[in-house]
Amino acid sequence: MEIRVQSIHFDATEQLQAFIQKKVTKLERFYEDITRAEVSLKVTKPETAANKEAGIKLLVPNGELYASKVCDTFEEAIDLDVEALEKQLIKYKEKLRSK
């Protein structure tokens, strides 16, 4: 699986990118045929506390799955995105099995 990280209007640190790689790679346990993961990071409304938005789009055969969260830190947002995508992948697999 190819993982592409895009940080909008700032540079993501090596530490943050390594964290994203580690978390997103774990999604392959739920579904092996993920072709690409696109992670987009951006800071929204700098004056508020919860202003870090992270979105993850997974490209799978015949479709795509997406999760986006806004939190205090990018790590927290990525964690919540990965949890949401785990649930989506499980549903997606069940749908494929029932066909």
Asked whether the predicted pLDDT for residue 99 surpasses 80, the reply is: no
Write the pLDDT tens digit of every residue in 13-59.
999 999 999 999 999 999 999 999 999 999 987 778 899 999 999 99
Segment (H or E) for 4 = strand 2-8
Model-wide pTM > 0.85: yes
- How far lies 38's CA from each of 28, 42, 65, 98, 99, in Å? 14, 13, 10, 28, 28
Give the whole-angstrom CA distance, residue 9 versus residue 63.
29
Domain ranges (residues) in the chain: 2-98
Report the chain's mean pLDDT, rounded to a whole number: 94
Contact 6, 38 (CB under 8 A): yes
Select the CATH number that applies to the domain covering 2-98 from these four: 3.40.50.300, 3.90.1170.50, 3.30.160.100, 1.10.645.10: 3.30.160.100
